[in-house]
Chains A and B, each alone.
Chain A
Amino acid sequence: MIGFIKKDLLTLKQNIKLYAVIFIIYIALAFYGKMSLMIVLPIFSVVMMFNTFVYDDYNKWNSYAATLPNGKRNVVVSKYLTSLILIAILSIIVIITSSIFSFFTNGNIIDMSVFQELIYTAIATMVVNSIMYPLIFKFGIERARTIIFVLVMVFAFIGSAVTSYFSSNYLKFEKIITLFKNYYRIIAIAVILILFVSSYLISRKIFAKKEF
């Protein structure tokens, strides 16, 4: 399995200069207060992993990988683990960059709010990955791209509708909202763990049935 993870990381390494340039642009935008540095985590991890799928697809890596020992299983495991490794690496980069920012703006190196914001962002990124990967394994990167685009639109629409309904009927749902406010950390972690593991199992099943 290590070989499969290495393959993804080395694929990403080949474009490291390009990613570095884009990252510097993001830092500049964040420095001038145009956007939050936190956005780096979801955007980079999703786009970078997406690119590994594109390379795999273009060179029929999955077909070749299926001929290797434990290939079908490891293709799936490695994508999920690489995505976590990437989230971890990007989180460290964001923390270091934020600390430098913080030091120059208010003299503090550690800003605890950054950690909290980072955890939420990491969870959101994992949610996106959990939804994306089974679709990519099922339909291939080209078709999945369109489906994901449609899904994002649908989720955005449903999300805004639900939020506005809850805000306008706050009193009706006060108890539920208060309960959620108290336990949201546990709920969020439990939900993401269930979602991530389920997504992995679904992808495994899809990939095991696939013909090359």
Chain B
Amino acid sequence: MENSVEVKNLVKEYDKFKLGEINFEIPSGSIVGLIGENGAGKTTLIKSILNIINTNNGSINIFNKDNKQYEKVVKEDIGVVLDNMFFPENLKIKDINSIMKGIFKNWNSETFNKYLLEFKLDEKLIIKKLSKGMRKKLEIATAISHEPKLLILDEPTSGLDPVVRSEVLDIFMDFIQDEEHSILLSTHITSDLEHIADKIIFINDGKIVLDKSRDELLDNYGVLKCDDTYLAKVDKKDIVSYKKNKYDCQILVENRDKMSKKYNDCVIDKISLEDLMVLIIKGERV
């Protein structure tokens, strides 16, 4: 399988924060979910891929082309939704159509108007008058209407109600049906990724701590729920991390089926991405 994006040895240093070294790939035809707490480096990583910040080291290839050397060509095929970055809000929705025609070679007004209709966005409205959810929908419609091959989305579903979120996720799923297409999606709504992501990249404190397929993560990891006294009985090498709560204790374990047999007097639940994140970030190590 070809890769849409290949990031190698990427480093970006700020005074008080360092991202890297980062290595990962986005395979063509896949949705890659980027998760991590605020300030973990997700947006810095996205900005590095888009070459809107200067990196200190490493290389980023998009469609097998260097993202700096072939910036213009590469960006023709990328659709972007970034958090709180968009057109001046005194413009009308229909102005975006007119402007984008002069920016992207492949801008498709019909596609744009189709999404406006689907999202119930009146083209005569000015951006300022849109609710947060409507604005997000407009940003998505704008990102997808020049027939890009790669979508880079930073919090694309934040502010959307569950119904619209589901519609948007369906659009992403449709988009990915073309095996040349791929999506990098950073979000705090990890349940969205459980539905659509093929691969999850988990960033913590500027480093990738997990880079695995969604199925591998959700099938492999589990949460052993027990009390404090049981914690002492669990083999230390089986504990990835643990978190003591007021009434119980949660232990993150790998190889869930094997662990279920080994600790058959306890319940080992499937893990959600959210719990996995919390246990890795906040959990204690043995």
Q: Is the CB of A10 within 8 A of B89?
A: no
For residue A101, CB closer than 8 A to chain B, the reply is no
**Of the candidates B73, B88, B102, B126, which one forms a contact with A6 in the assembled complex, judged by CB atoms under 8 Å apart?**
B102
Chain A hits for B95, CB < 8 A = 6-7, 10
In the complex, what distance in Å separates the CA atom of A63 from the CA atom of B84? 10
**Of the candidates B54, B87, B126, which one forms a contact with A7 in the assembled complex, judged by CB atoms under 8 Å apart?**
B87
Residue of B whose beta carbon sits closest to that of A13 = B95
Chain B hits for A68, CB < 8 A = 75, 103-104
Q: Is the CB of B75 within 8 A of A71?
A: yes
In the assembled complex, the CB of A9 is this many whole angstroms from the nearest CB of chain B, namely 10
Q: How many residues of B contact A (CB 8 A)?
A: 31
Chain A hits for B50, CB < 8 A = 66-67
For residue B173, CB closer than 8 A to chain A, the reply is no
In the assembled complex, the CB of A206 is this many whole angstroms from the nearest CB of chain B, namely 14
Residue of B whose beta carbon sits closest to that of A7 = B99
Chain B hits for A15, CB < 8 A = 90
- Kindly supply a per-residue 1/0 record for chain B positions 46-63, scoring 1 wherever the CB is within 8 Å of any chain A CB and 0 otherwise: 010010111000000000
In the assembled complex, the CB of A126 is this many whole angstroms from the nearest CB of chain B, namely 24
For residue B85, CB closer than 8 A to chain A, the reply is yes
In the complex, what distance in Å separates the CA atom of A211 from the CA atom of B44? 11
Chain A hits for B84, CB < 8 A = 60
User: Which of the candidate stretches A30-38, A51-59, A171-179 sits at the interface with the other chain?
Assistant: A51-59
Chain A hits for B52, CB < 8 A = 63, 66-67, 211-212
Q: Is the CB of B88 within 8 A of A7?
A: yes
- Interface size class, chain A: 20 to 34
Chain A hits for B89, CB < 8 A = 55, 58-59
Give B38-93 interface residues, CB cut-off 8 Å to A. 47, 50, 52-54, 71-73, 75-76, 78, 80, 82, 84-92
For residue B101, CB closer than 8 A to chain A, the reply is yes
For residue B98, CB closer than 8 A to chain A, the reply is yes
For residue A4, CB closer than 8 A to chain B, the reply is yes
**Of the candidates A10, A60, A67, which one forms a contact with B98 in the assembled complex, judged by CB atoms under 8 Å apart?**
A10
- Kindly supply a per-residue 1/0 record for chain B positions 153-174, scoring 1 wherever the CB is within 8 Å of any chain A CB and 0 otherwise: 0000000000000000000000
A68-B75, A212-B52 are contacts. A1–B102 as well, Cβ < 8 Å? yes
**Of the candidates A3, A59, A71, A74, which one forms a contact with B86 in the assembled complex, judged by CB atoms under 8 Å apart?**
A59
For residue A184, CB closer than 8 A to chain B, the reply is no
For residue B100, CB closer than 8 A to chain A, the reply is yes
In the complex, what distance in Å separates the CA atom of A85 from the CA atom of B67? 33
Residue of B whose beta carbon sits closest to that of A12 = B90
In the assembled complex, the CB of B95 is this many whole angstroms from the nearest CB of chain A, namely 5
For residue A61, CB closer than 8 A to chain B, the reply is yes
17 A-B pairs (CB sep. < 8 Å): A3-B101, A7-B91, A10-B91, A10-B95, A14-B126, A56-B88, A59-B87, A59-B89, A64-B82, A64-B85, A64-B86, A67-B75, A67-B80, A69-B75, A69-B76, A70-B75, A211-B47
- B residues touching A (Cβ–Cβ < 8 Å)? 47, 50, 52-54, 71-73, 75-76, 78, 80, 82, 84-92, 95, 98-104, 126
